[in-house]
Amino acid sequence: MVSAASPSSPDGRRVALLTLGCARNEVDSEELAARLHADGWQVTTDGEGADVVLVNTCGFVEKAKQDSIQTLLAAADTGAKVVAAGCMAERYGRELADSLPEAQAVLGFDDYPEISDRLRAVVAGEQVAAHTPRDRRELLPLTPVSRRSSPVVVPGHGGVDEHTPAHLRTVLRRRLDSGPVASLKLASGCDRRCAFCAIPAFRGAFVSRTPDELLAEAEWLAKTGVRELVLVSENSTSYGKDLGDPRLLEKLLPQLAAIDGIVRVRASYLQPAETRPGLVEAIATTPGVAPYFDLSFQHSSEPVLRRMRRFGSTPRFLELLGAARALAPEAGARSNFIVGFPGETRADVDELVRFLTDARLDAIGVFDYSDEDGTEAASLPGKVPAATIKRRYDKISALADELCSQRAEERLGTTVEVLVDSVDDGIVEGRAAHQAPEVDGSTTLVAPPTGGVDLAALRPGDLVRATVTGTEGVDLLAVPEEMLSAAPTVRR
């Protein structure tokens, strides 16, 4: 396995790479970091003393866009040159450049292969033209199986040399975080047409990465000390459809779990309508794969779901969760929900309450609806008044907190496998299999009365078996009983 390339022409220039938004963006940032490092840049995540601050923005919803703007403005205050990249930059291009003179450049995805040249031009004071946004779905063939040969730039898929076996290629990725968890991008883009979502327009049509490429990158990540792989994409259940095998994820999961050093593989971003029984079984029963179901329900009322251009209902969603728990009673499940979608009625909200009450989800994200540029929902009739949306949001959020706390309490006395994420001033924090990084709570390990595992000896990356003894909201307290797999010593 060839590791990420070393710099060929160091020039002493320093770039700070700041990442906003989702785990997919984090993978894209590590591709950018690899390209820059290989071309002589010193790459950091700290803006202090940087020549250029490169902000990988998020353009998903209004709050994310505002966070991106604030980060760009704060970066400009450091005195460094500021460059916007990522989803918001791709989505708005020239419009963003015109409204944000503090940024010396606004780059689109097509600039990623030449990112070093673009930043050198910025440092030299040259004008870098912002791109004109376009619907990236139109850049790839309509038929999924025809997309592999397209030269379109897809972030996170860079550096593919089809003439060299995957295990001999340079991994175009440089880790910006030394923790024991890393995301692995299965695919990019989405072919679904959800009425509220603008992502496909600026991320493009769905494109899978090949299994050999994913396995090679996963092996490289394991050698850097990664112990848990989080599989990410816009829609993981579509993985393989453009490679001629819609069941490819079911086959890939055990292969990833068998990689030396990897103790947990976690699939995320599952579409309920595409979650087949075979995939449910693979996630629930494959050793080394977390029995964890990150299902994008969004609502449970059929009328609302149809207006969203989605499928499902309370009974169907409960059936799906029941099938998973029949195979793995301890399985974790999380989802996000939108309240206040155009046309939503009190009866629809009552139906959502019924579903949430019966679903026993471990984590629930609640979003208040807002119109997004370029989406079908923005032009739909039946807009719910803002005050009503807020009331519904507050109601569902409070219910979600209560229900998730109750679900955590159901785990009292049970045994969980905890991957240690951090050890700080004697506090050992990690996550059980039902807890994804950053979004689903955590597990704090506490000293056993007698015997058990010595807390002082634990390190990030250790996997221990522990008994749950307490809860704090969605978070757990647990006593470590047995070391299952000690983190290896990694040479850096």
Q: List pLDDT tens digits, range 169-212.
A: 688 999 999 999 999 999 999 999 999 999 999 999 999 999 99
Residue 404 annotated as part of some ligand binding site: no
Residue 460 is part of which domain span? 414-485
Share of the chain above pLDDT 70, in %: 95
Q: Residue range 265-270: average pLDDT?
A: 98
The verdict on residue 490 lying in a domain is: no
Asked if 331 and 470 sit in the same domain, the reply is: no
Q: Is 194 annotated as a binding residue?
A: yes
Give the domain-ending residue among 382, 410, 438: 410
Is 109 in the same domain as 171?
no
Tell me: do 110 and 126 sit in the same domain.
Answer: yes
Q: Closest by alpha carbon to 296, among 281, 275, 319? A: 275
Query: Can you tell me the mean pLDDT for 357-379?
Result: 96
Q: What is the pLDDT of residue 8?
A: 40
pLDDT category of residue 157 using cuts at 50, 70 and 90: confident
95-120: string of b/e by CB count within 10 Å (b at 16+)? Answer: ebbeebeebbbbbbbebbeebbebbb
Question: Is residue 123 a part of any domain in this protein?
Answer: yes
**Both 398 and 427 in a single domain?**
no
Whether 127 and 189 map to the same domain: the answer is no
* Statement to judge: residues 193 and 284 lie in one domain: yes
Q: What is the pLDDT of residue 62?
A: 77
219 lies in a domain?
yes
User: Which of 92-101, 325-334, 445-454 is modeled with the greatest confidence?
Assistant: 325-334
How far lies 403's CA from each of 359, 455, 477, in Å? 9, 31, 18
Domain-terminating residue out of 388, 410, 432: 410
CATH of the domain at 466: 2.40.50.140
Mean pLDDT of the chain: 92
In a domain, 182, yes or no: yes
- Position with higher pLDDT, 10 vs 84: 84
Written as six digits, the tokens of 242 are 């453009």
The answer on 239 and 206 residing in a single domain is yes
How many domains would you assign to the chain? 3
Do 470 and 374 sit in the same domain of this protein? Answer: no
> For residue range 451-461, what is the model confidence (pLDDT) as tens digits?
778 999 999 99
Same domain, yes or no: 167 and 238: yes
317 with 403, same domain: the answer is: yes
Among 410, 444, 468, the domain boundary falls at: 410
* Residue 87 annotated as part of some ligand binding site: yes
